[in-house]
């Protein structure tokens, strides 16, 4: 049975089901207000809004939703949008099929890891994987086209409020890169994150100063976790990045010539790190007791320790250091000590493995001995500061 009627909430609730019970398996009601909008009522009472229209001479039926989840007003609005698309030659059913086949956000991230991050980024697990799991995985089951600019902006702002601008910008950068890859791989037409500006960042300048060094080194010498103690000493003796120290292999070390060759740093280049006598002695002691290819072996899938962040926080607590301090601040501490011992900018860049195109030619002229001497002077200064008992109290005459 097919009836033309102005669909209303009252009509559907009071009359549609009664009309459907007239013997027909299904009753169809055409709306007189929006031509093409119909309501189908099954013998079970299920009420479904659809659009009936022809495209290129072929009949189409596009399901909009069921009543009362979809109100009459909402059904009319959706019907008008669908009819506009059909008038432009677009088949909404084909678009639905495309969306059904579209990747979820979680699937896009897995594709991003395999095709882009892992081949290019040594730190993909520590950076991309952890950021996704912590801050973006709530979108895992969403279709990639369903996440819009407004949602991305809201996430960016809330992260700044809760975690600060640096963390917010790093997650936004990952999100922007994910969608850039989706556009590049022709999975989407445009990046919904385009045009959103990062928050201004104040460069972090935290390092341990001479007033903090005595308590820090006392706590370090008393540390019972040998892996943490040796890791921190090597960080102070070399100024190397956390990830490089933790992934250090014995094959990278030439202890006879006091050199550590890092095969690949964050910049993608290799780096020769001169080793001080104290660092060589520490490494030789570990090697005598080691059965692993790694200097800091671990039980995880990578075979080495990943991040002693929690143990480092405990060390800081025992040292009485309450100001926020990260493992990366040890690297800044070495840089500051180098500067205070009058090492020039090129020596500091070479010692810390910073990438500088302008200084490339100068780097090639620096020998390892120059860097080793500067590191020795800087660490000697740290150790002298560590032996102090603290600032003397001024005597009152």
- Angle in degrees, CA 153, 159, 242, rounded to 5: 125
In a domain, 77, yes or no: yes
The Cα–Cα gap between 168 and 160 comes to 5
CB 345 within 8 A of CB 332: no
Same domain, 295 and 339: yes
Parallel, antiparallel or unpaired: strands 58-67 and 253-254: unpaired
- The CATH number of residue 334's host domain is 1.10.443.10
Number of neighbours of residue 186 by Cβ within 10 angstroms:
7
In a domain, 397, yes or no: no
Q: Total domain count for the chain?
A: 3
Same domain, 269 and 375: yes
In a domain, 201, yes or no: no
Strand order from edge to edge, sheet including 26-31: 2-5, 26-31, 37-42, 47-55, 58-67
Same domain, 87 and 125: no
In a domain, 190, yes or no: no
Residues in the chain: 397
Alpha helices, DSSP H only, in the chain?
Answer: 9-11, 17-20, 72-87, 92-101, 105-112, 118-120, 130-131, 149-163, 165-184, 213-221, 226-238, 242-246, 277-288, 309-318, 328-340, 345-352, 360-365, 368-387
Same domain, 294 and 311: yes
Same domain, 293 and 358: yes
The Cα–Cα gap between 218 and 315 comes to 10
Same domain, 240 and 304: yes
The Cα–Cα gap between 372 and 279 comes to 12
Number of neighbours of residue 79 by Cβ within 10 angstroms:
24
Q: Tokens 């405990």 belong to which residue?
A: 314
CA 342 to chain centre: 38
The Cα–Cα gap between 143 and 301 comes to 31
In a domain, 29, yes or no: yes
Sign of CA dihedral 72, 75, 81, 86: negative
Same domain, 77 and 123: no
Same domain, 138 and 29: no
Sign of CA dihedral 303, 304, 309, 313: positive
- Angle in degrees, CA 301, 302, 305, rounded to 5: 110
Q: Which of 57, 75, 101 is the last residue of a domain?
A: 101
Alpha helices, DSSP H only, in 92-196?
Answer: 92-101, 105-112, 118-120, 130-131, 149-163, 165-184
CB 100 within 8 A of CB 89: no
Strand order from edge to edge, sheet including 259-262: 253-254, 259-262, 271-274
Same domain, 143 and 275: no
Same domain, 97 and 109: no
Same domain, 291 and 364: yes
pLDDT in 10s for each residue of the chain, 397 residues: 568 888 888 888 876 666 555 555 668 888 888 888 988 888 777 888 888 888 777 788 888 888 888 898 998 998 888 888 777 777 766 655 545 568 899 999 999 999 898 887 767 777 898 899 999 999 999 999 899 999 999 999 999 999 889 889 999 999 999 999 999 988 888 999 999 999 988 767 788 888 898 999 999 999 999 999 999 999 988 888 898 999 999 999 999 999 999 888 776 678 888 899 999 999 999 999 999 999 999 987 789 998 898 999 999 999 999 988 988 888 888 877 776 766 656 665 666 666 653 433 333 334 566 667 777 878 888 888 777 665 554 444 3
- The CATH number of residue 86's host domain is 3.30.160.390
The Cα–Cα gap between 119 and 132 comes to 18
Q: Which of 47, 76, 101 is the last residue of a domain?
A: 101
In a domain, 202, yes or no: no
CB 89 within 8 A of CB 158: no
Same domain, 115 and 135: yes
Q: Which of 101, 125, 141 is the last residue of a domain?
A: 101
Instruction: Respond yes or no on whether the N-terminal peptide bond of residue 68 is cis (omega within 30° of 0).
Output: yes
In a domain, 89, yes or no: yes
- Closest Cα to residue 247, out of 304, 172, 176? 304
The phi and psi torsions of 342 (rounded to 5 degrees) equal 70, 25
Residue 127's pLDDT is 82
CB 262 within 8 A of CB 350: no
Rg, C-alpha atoms of the chain: 33
Domain carrying residue 377: 213-387
In a domain, 276, yes or no: yes
């Amino acid at each position: 049975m097919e009836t033309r009627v102005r669909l209303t909430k009252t009509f559907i609730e009071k009359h549609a089901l009664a009309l459907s019970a007239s013997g027909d398996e299904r009753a169809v009601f055409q709306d007189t207000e929006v031509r093409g909008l119909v309501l189908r009522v099954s013998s079970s009472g299920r009420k479904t809004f659809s659009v009936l229209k022809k495209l290129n001479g072929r009949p189409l039926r596009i399901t909009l939703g069921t009543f009362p989840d979809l109100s009459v007003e909402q059904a009319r609005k959706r019907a008008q949008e669908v009819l506009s698309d059909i008038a432009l030659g677009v088949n909404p059913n084909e678009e639905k099929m495309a969306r059904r086949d579209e990747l979820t956000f979680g699937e896009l991230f897995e594709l991003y890891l395999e095709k882009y991050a892992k081949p290019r980024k040594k730190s993909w697990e520590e950076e991309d994987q952890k950021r996704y799991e912590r801050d973006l995985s709530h979108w895992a089951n969403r279709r990639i086209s369903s996440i819009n600019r407004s949602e991305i902006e809201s996430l960016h702002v809330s992260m700044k409020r809760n975690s600060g601008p640096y963390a917010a910008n790093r997650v936004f950068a990952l999100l922007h890169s994910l969608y850039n890859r989706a556009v590049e791989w022709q999975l989407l037409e445009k990046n919904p994150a385009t045009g959103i500006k990062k928050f201004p960042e104040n460069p972090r300048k935290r390092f341990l100063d001479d007033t903090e060094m005595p308590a820090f080194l006392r706590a370090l010498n008393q540390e019972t976790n040998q892996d943490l103690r040796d890791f921190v000493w090597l960080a102070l003796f070399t100024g190397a990045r956390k990830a490089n120290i933790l992934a250090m292999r014995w094959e990278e070390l030439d202890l006879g010539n006091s050199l550590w060759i890092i095969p690949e740093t964050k910049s993608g280049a290799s780096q020769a790190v001169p080793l001080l006598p104290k660092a060589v002695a520490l490494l030789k002691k570990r090697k005598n007791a080691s059965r692993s290819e790694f200097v800091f072996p671990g039980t995880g899938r990578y075979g080495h320790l990943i991040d002693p962040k929690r143990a480092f926080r405990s060390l800081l607590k025992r040292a009485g250091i309450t100001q926020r301090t990260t493992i990366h601040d040890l690297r800044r501490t070495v840089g500051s000590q180098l500067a205070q011992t009058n090492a020039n900018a090129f020596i500091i860049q070479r010692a810390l493995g910073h990438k500088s195109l302008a200084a490339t030619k100068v780097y090639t002229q620096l020998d390892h001995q120059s860097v080793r001497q500067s590191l020795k002077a800087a660490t000697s200064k740290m150790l002298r500061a560590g032996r102090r008992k603290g600032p003397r109290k001024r005597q009152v005459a």
